Chains A and B, each alone.
Chain A
Amino acid sequence: MIHFLANPARFMRIGARVLPWCWAVAALGMGAGLWFALVSSPADYQQGDSVRIMYIHVPSAWMALAVYSLIALVSAMALVWKHPLGYLIGRAAAPLGTGFTVICLVTGALWGQTSWGTWWVWDARLTSVLILFFLYLGYMALASAFDDPDRGNRAAALLAIVGFVNIPIIKFSVDWWSTLHQPASVLRSGGPAIHPSMLTPLVLMAVGFAAYFLALLVLRVRAEIAGRKVAALMMASAMGGAGSNPARRERI
């Protein structure tokens, strides 16, 4: 399965087929989610209408974690099996994951100010998510730091794998240490502690975010593949045009 999908051309053919479905699910999920989040869901018994921030804060936090996990996974596969597609997916996913982390941090600050009474505290949950943000930045910086793209890819992949330690820390920080941030409401033992009327917009939004990410990921991987072809062509022509056969190098 892994080796079957690792062929970039095959991956892109499958990507092209799922792309319209991703857009459809993203539009439906986010559209319906927005309706439920802002109009049809009730206010919270404690927090009133400020609870509506949850419907974007929590899905973006899930995406920030999921996208990083994906990058770590494909990085490990790229390092072990030398599948260049893993590097391409990682590079394509990183800016999107950074975006979700930014949404999570900004909406979290706004929500924190209204519910806790502070924009920011250095508790374990908030700090570890900020570290996640810097890991994303570091990954992107490393991936493009070297003249030789392969070296950059390997260095960034290594950082992604090392940084994966942070993911369980983020998830369980609220259980392991005393934090200002409350424990998990949905993914916890004993079932969700959220009323169904408020779980609906949360789940819809999360599905929408995930589909939106997948759609953009397919397009970004396509761009990365095109970018590699450009680099290969430039290299071929730089190495003395007439004699070499650029068509061979163009294949990844």
Chain B
Amino acid sequence: MDTIGNALYLGGYGIYVWPAFATAAAVLCWMAVSTVARLRGAERSLDRLRRARAKAAAPGGEAAPAEALNGQGTDP
């Protein structure tokens, strides 16, 4: 327990060192999370548009692809 406390204390510099590492970890995580969110979002809307277009191209289907982005719940 004591050794852990010493390790965290870092000769008194722990109060600067740990926030620095925590900030770096937080920002690096944010980079990954925001990247994945962007990619997912873009790929999902692309899928939806393509499916709507395929439907429109099929005989009988006349749905405008642009609406597919807004009507999220209506997709089968």
Contacts and interface: CB of A to CB of B under 8 A. Distances in A.
Give yes or no for direct A-B contact (beta carbon below 8 Å): yes
Interface of A: 38, 43, 48-50, 52-53, 56-57, 60, 95-96, 99-100, 102-103, 106-107, 110-111, 113-114, 212, 216, 219-220, 222-224, 226-227, 229-230, 233-234, 236-238, 241, 246
B2 to A, nearest CB: 17
Contacts of B43: 223, 226
A216 B35 contact: yes
Contacts of B13: 48-50, 52, 114
Given A233-B50, A237-B66, A238-B66, A49 B31 contact: no
B74 interface: no
B70 to A, nearest CB: 11
Interface string B18-58: 01110110011011101110110111011001100100100
- In which size bucket is the chain B interface? 35 or more
Nearest to A37: B21
A107 B24 contact: yes
Nearest to A60: B24
B65 A230 contact: no
Closest A-B pairs by Cβ, 8 of them:
A226-B42, A49-B10, A50-B13, A237-B65, A223-B39, A107-B20, A223-B38, A56-B24
A244 B49 CA distance: 15
B31 A53 contact: no
Given A53-B16, A102-B23, 6 more contacts: A49-B11, A100-B27, A103-B27, A222-B39, A230-B45, A241-B65
B35 A237 contact: no
B66 A234 contact: yes
B39 to A, nearest CB: 4
